[in-house]
Structure 1
């Protein structure tokens, strides 16, 4: 699959290119907020809020996985996932000054995205089987806890807590990486994720954006699936 790239000679001028669709940005910033909400509601024992936050994260992760196959060019795994060797090569050249010509995720950032999605999926799925915890109000438990033996539910509950610690660690590394790119390479990775637009050299082909109707259908389908699972309990 051909990556978006140079379609002409670089004349040194910069143009605004839309690189991130609204759906990617919705998932990104919503999960940022929901991770904070999940932590706070878990620490304060607010079961219902913690559960709703978990359902919302699972919905967004399922949608993001589907959008990674059917969505915009910059959202597709096949476009931004490169070989581990290429990711390592990118990191070894980190300190070399160079203009930001990445249309989507860079070689290392793509693997960070995949890792975070995997952790978020593991976190929410283990939460579905979580055992009753006395620290929470109402003593609620995961809707699928009754489908597995008590020992398994208890083990998955412990895994649920451990994975969340890994999510916080990964999120912290992600923030540090963004700051490092800003300070060392002068690459602004935050603004494009806020606005969707990025300044790139003239002549670079703009990425194809996915269908908003398809995106809405995929998001609705993910929400219905999560709702159906939640009703099992």
Structure 2
């Protein structure tokens, strides 16, 4: 068993890159709509979709804590963890916890709905999504309504995520600092297999650059 004070690398470079770039793109998407920059909004949406695509590829070939199979999607485990948290007891996990796994999954689902529906969207003036021309009017209206309504659920979930991280920061869990440094200061039984994560950073950067240019 490792020492409780020993720092353990749990998040590779790409996961950290992905996390903060995703946040930056979401802020950009919100601001671009707030100020009616529709073309920029669509470019940023495509950039985020490219980033998410690379993340999903990394979910099959990446570090141990980045793999889809590392997500702990067991309802009983999540309920037990919630009871532990409410009782003031910390649950130790190498990567995502049960509750964290459900949060990640929910964010991915809402993000995909938002990004894919945006491909069929239009501002009805000058800017059309890349797949807008391929759907009939009735389907366009459906995608438009979905895109408009889903964003409220997405930002509500993001707000819950931020509040949860703020709560854990107050309890000095180190979750926020770990997403900068990659290290957790935990009593973890074994070190996870962490890959450098350099090629997905390069791949995502190239895809995003191509999206923004073309």
**TM-score, length basis structure 1:** 0.82
Q: Which runs of 5+ in 2 are unaligned?
A: none
Q: Which runs of 5+ in 1 are unaligned?
A: 1-7
Alignment of structure 1 residues 171-210 onto 2, 5 Å: 171-183=158-170, 185-201=171-187, 204-210=189-195
Quick one: distance in 2 between partners of 1:133 and 1:24? 37
Shift of 1:175: 0.7
Answer with 1 or 2: which has the greater Rg. Answer: 1
Residues 1:48 and 1:188: Cα distance change in structure 2 (over 3 Å): same
SS of the residue corresponding to residue 186 of structure 2 reads strand
Q: CA RMSD in A?
A: 2.3
Alignment of structure 1 residues 94-105 onto 2, 5 Å: 94-99=85-90, 101-105=92-96
| Counterpart position of 1:219 | 204
Alignment of structure 1 residues 28-47 onto 2, 5 Å: 28-47=19-38
Quick one: distance in 2 between partners of 1:29 and 1:53? 14
For these two proteins, the number of residue pairs brought into alignment is 212
| Counterpart position of 2:105 | 114
SS of the residue corresponding to residue 205 of structure 1 reads coil
Cα pair 1:20 1:192 within 8 Å, conserved: yes
Alignment of structure 1 residues 123-162 onto 2, 5 Å: 123-134=114-125, 139-162=126-149
More displaced, 206-215 or 100-109? 206-215
Quick one: distance in 2 between partners of 1:34 and 1:129? 20
Shift of 1:65: 1.4
Counterpart of 2:67 (choices 76, 84, 102) is 76
Quick one: distance in 2 between partners of 1:156 and 1:92? 39
Quick one: distance in 1 between partners of 2:20 and 2:193? 22
Counterpart of 1:86 (choices 51, 64, 77) is 77
Cα pair 2:38 2:127 within 8 Å, conserved: yes
More displaced, 185-194 or 170-179? 185-194
Cα pair 1:80 1:107 within 8 Å, conserved: yes
SS of the residue corresponding to residue 133 of structure 1 reads coil
SS of the residue corresponding to residue 119 of structure 1 reads helix
Specify which structure has the bigger relative contact order, considering alpha-carbon pairs within 8 angstroms and separated by 6 or more residues. 2
Shift of 1:220: 6.8
Shift of 1:114: 0.8
Residues 1:211 and 1:199: Cα distance change in structure 2 (over 3 Å): closer
Cα pair 1:100 1:200 within 8 Å, conserved: no
| Counterpart position of 2:153 | 166
Quick one: distance in 2 between partners of 1:91 and 1:210? 31
| Counterpart position of 1:3 | none
**TM-score, length basis structure 2:** 0.89
